[in-house]
Amino acid sequence: MNKLLEVSDLAVAFGDVSAVRGVSFAVEAGESLAIVGESGSGKSLSSLAVLGLLPPQARVTAGSIRFDGRDLLSRTDDELRRLRGEELAIIFQDPLSALNPSLTVGYQIGEVFRRRRGLGRAEARQKAIEAMTEVGIPDAAARAGNYPHEFSGGMRQRVMIAMAMALQPRLLIADEPTTALDVTVQAQILRLLRQRQEAGLALIIISHDLGVVARTAQSVVVMYAGRAVESGTVADLFSAPAHPYTRGLMAASPSARDAERTVRPIDGYPPDITSPPSGCAFHPRCPFAQERCRTEEPALRTVSPGRTSACHFAEEVVTHDESLATRA
């Protein structure tokens, strides 16, 4: 059966520079998929391509994006605009920049109903209050009259979720939705997204934080330098990563590990995508790297059912003892 969203071999370029190369992922109604990586890995671009929201200099150069069996890449801008909100929606890290500071939040959420559903002002306001209540904003009727700056960061993110969910889209992409929030509020927002997903929403969560992924997603795609380097279920990845970069992310994530272990950041920096390293793009930072890794780019291959890795030595990495992975 086809999944609700199916992205296959997607490639995105800025002029001559490949920013995303051959990335595939899929998500079904009621499922949650995480796309993980450092900044510049291409994780945001991959999802912006789905929504037809790539920056003007960027374009899709290969691959396909199918939503509910329909080809999204052949849609006109108008058709995509109509789909956004109605069927696909996105929320970002910084709700303040996405909200108009001079309009009340009730008005801004109500605008969705006025514009898209042709509701009158009073009716739209009522719908806005309902939408705010649904995402757990207390005393929504009174809060609808407040301006964005009168809300805390967590409440503002709830406002964005209310707005994104107003027209009951089938797919929500959440791009670093909790990065700006403290840990307690982060957990509340993730719980809210999870409830939505359990109620039938297809959710894509984009994050650099494996702790967030562990709490929200069922499956994961790990991206590095514009490529998918590992994919699988959350349970498989967390119990035994099959790519050294995933191992590194786990070691670097305080919330993905048990408390008594020390957090160890990955050595080095993400590569410059205008001149990526030869062979395996991760080799300059990889504690497992061998001579072959400098010259031969590893293909993404199936290493066990439901599991892919783009590492020449994936099988050894999976079974590798943690204590040996420090030899870099």
Residues 17-56 that bind Mg ion (CB under 5 A): 44
Is there binding between residue 40 and ligand SF4 (CB under 6 A)? no
Q: Measured from the CB atom, is 3 or 247 closer to ligand SF4?
A: 247
Binding footprint of ligand SF4, residue count (CB under 6 A): 13
Q: Which is closer to ligand SF4, CB of 4 or CB of 266?
A: 266
- Would you say 128 or 311 has its CB closer to ligand SF4? 311
Judged by beta carbon distances under 5 to 8 A according to partner kind, the member of Mg ion, ligand SF4, none in contact with residue 204 is: none
Q: In angstroms, rounded to a whole number, what is the distance separating the alpha carbons of residues 224 and 41?
A: 5
Task: Give whichever of 215 and 320 is closer to ligand SF4, judged by the CB atom.
Answer: 320
Report the nearest approach of ligand SF4 to the CB of residue 222 (Å).
11
Residue 44 interface partner, choices ligand SF4, Mg ion, none, CB cut-off 5-8 Å depending on type: Mg ion
By beta-carbon proximity to ligand SF4, the closer residue of 127 and 312 is 312
* Candidate residues 113, 288, 303, 318; the one interacting with ligand SF4 per rule CB under 6 A: 288
> Does residue number 95 form part of the binding site for ligand SF4 (CB under 6 A)?
no
Q: Regarding beta strands 219-224 and 171-175, do their DSSP bridges make them parallel or antiparallel, or are they unpaired?
A: unpaired
Residue 155: which of 179, 181, 174 has the closest Cα? 181
> Which of 7/289 has CB closer to ligand SF4?
289
Q: Is 313 in the site for ligand SF4 (CB under 6 A)?
A: yes
User: Does position 289 bind ligand SF4 by CB under 6 A?
Assistant: yes
Amino acid of residue 99: L
Binding site for Mg ion (CB under 5 A): 44
Binding site for ligand SF4 (CB under 6 A): 243-244, 280, 282-283, 286, 288-289, 293, 298, 311-313
